[in-house]
Amino acid sequence: MDFTDKKRVVVTGLGMATALGLEVGENWTKALAGVSGVGRLALPGAAKSPVQAVAALKEDDWARITDEFPEDSKNAIERRTQFALWAAKRALQDAGLISGGARERFGTVLAAGLGINRLEDIARWTKNNEFDMTGFSNEYHQVTVDSIIRNNSNRAAALIAGRFSLFGPNATITTACASATQAIGTAFRMIRGGEADVIAAGGADSMINPIGLVFFVLLQAACTASENVTQLCRPFDRRRSGLIMGEGAGIAVLEEYGHAVKRGAKIYAEVAGYGSTMDAYQVTAPMPDGSGAGGAMCAALRDAAMGTDAIDYINAHGTSTKLNDEAETLSIVNIFRERARDIAISSSKSMIGHLLAASGGPEFIFTVLSVAGDMIHPTINLTHPDPKCNLDYVPLVSRQTKVRAAISNSIGFGGQNASVIVKKAGP
């Protein structure tokens, strides 16, 4: 297909749930103000956890979600799936597509992380240091409600499709921290290629549980400090000491431009390009020279038929880990060369934590809002810049500036990299 034959893809609806709140407007207002959603871990027995700082949803917000979907709450649906239902409903409402019309060309592409294995389940059927397979096979229906046994990875995408009559393409992507950006990129290509008119795309995840938390401690990726928890997520700061786990969802409605115009839809911005690469280097570390992430940005620029001079903002993966922040900085320098220091860069994770498979969802939404409103949220807690991370990370205070086009980056464990380009939607 020639570039001139490709359909245009625009963003017409946004929905999210993070530690900053349940509405897009609330999230954006707090992000621009540099509000931290990080708090102290509140799970039972949390005092014994090596991880004390997390960006979990507030209890009142969780209660709103369960009230919104009471039957799902009764039917053993885990947190991440209910986050996905909430964000999808809000995005479809925002787009004016919550119901009605022929929906055979409406689809869902959603990112989902690893399923949960609960310690209680392991302990229940462990006897004399051996797992009781016979007992488990007879009593497996007693597993906890959010166990992976009750919740396959594709459950959220399937429920969203059924609940909102999205009868077109349906896919679930699990590629570590790049999942949601790859889901958005996949949806973009489906619409651009004529496979669908509308797709709800993004991700939902929650690993704020004992196994999820200890997993990242064992990988030496998690922050284990416990003082001043709101200040512990410090992307690009020389005092950074690891990622802060977050949870939630971010889902956008992507729509073919002509379809959106015909029905008079509100258009936030246009999705212009997508690129994805694989480091094939180490499971828990990016290519030190940033070539993997750089390759994804290059691929997205080629896909969009754009030059490096068109990009005004980058929503960085920005995990607050030693390896990621340096490698991502190098990738930007290597691709943008002399322009690298003229591009505004910020990390949403400094406020909402790392949503793992879902991280690219809210970050894409913030990128869309930056392009739509010419505002960039800050990287908070960046008070001691790392000399090896010497770009413009919009420290501490938001910035009003022209944003013609922007890149949202995701860099995942296993070497997965993904970049999506968003630009202003002209006629």
CATH assignment of the domain containing 192:
3.40.47.10
Cite the DSSP H helix spans in 234-311: 257-262, 291-304
Q: Are 112 and 176 in contact (CB under 8 A)?
A: no
Show the domain range for 199: 10-116+151-423
Q: Which is the catalytic residue, given 233, 298, 317, 377? A: 317
C-alpha distance from residue 391 to each of 198, 313, 338 (Å): 37, 12, 11
d(CA 136, CA 134): 5
Confidence of residue 4 (pLDDT cuts 50, 70, 90): low
Q: Please give the backbone phi and psi of residue 35, each rounded to the nearest 5 degrees, phi first.
A: -80, 135
Q: Which is the catalytic residue, given 177, 223, 233, 298? A: 177
**Any domain includes 337:** yes
The reply to whether 298 belongs to the active site is no
Confidence of residue 1 (pLDDT cuts 50, 70, 90): very low
Q: Are 72 and 81 in contact (CB under 8 A)?
A: yes
pLDDT value at position 325?
A: 96
pLDDT tops 60 at residue 169 = yes
Residue given tokens 């290509």 in the structure block: 189
**Any domain includes 86:** yes
Cite the DSSP H helix spans in 263-400: 291-304, 322-336, 349-352, 360-373
Cite the DSSP H helix spans in 128-205: 133-139, 155-163, 179-192
Could you tell me which residues are beta bridge partners of residue 106?
198
The reply to whether 354 belongs to the active site is yes
21: left (phi over 0), alpha (psi -120 to 50) or beta: left
C-alpha distance from residue 358 to each of 204, 248, 341 (Å): 5, 7, 29
**Any domain includes 130:** no
**Any domain includes 5:** no
Confidence of residue 210 (pLDDT cuts 50, 70, 90): confident
**369-380 residue pLDDT tens:** 999 999 999 999
The reply to whether 377 belongs to the active site is no
d(CA 192, CA 306): 17
Q: Which is the catalytic residue, given 223, 354, 377, 389? A: 354
**60-119 residue pLDDT tens:** 999 999 999 988 777 667 899 999 999 999 999 999 999 988 899 999 999 998 777 777
**Any domain includes 4:** no
**211-238 residue pLDDT tens:** 889 888 988 899 999 999 999 999 999 9
**Any domain includes 3:** no
d(CA 319, CA 285): 12
**Any domain includes 127:** no
pLDDT tops 60 at residue 2 = no
**310-360 residue pLDDT tens:** 999 999 999 999 999 999 999 999 999 999 999 999 999 999 999 999 999
- Average pLDDT of the residues of the chain: 93
pLDDT value at position 122?
A: 81
pLDDT value at position 132?
A: 87
pLDDT value at position 218?
A: 86
* H/E stretch holding 272: strand 269-278
DSSP 156-177: HHHHHHHHTT--S-EEEE-BTB
Count of domains in the chain?
Answer: 1
Greatest Cα pair distance in the chain: 69
Q: Please give the backbone phi and psi of residue 366, each rounded to the nearest 5 degrees, phi first.
A: -60, -35
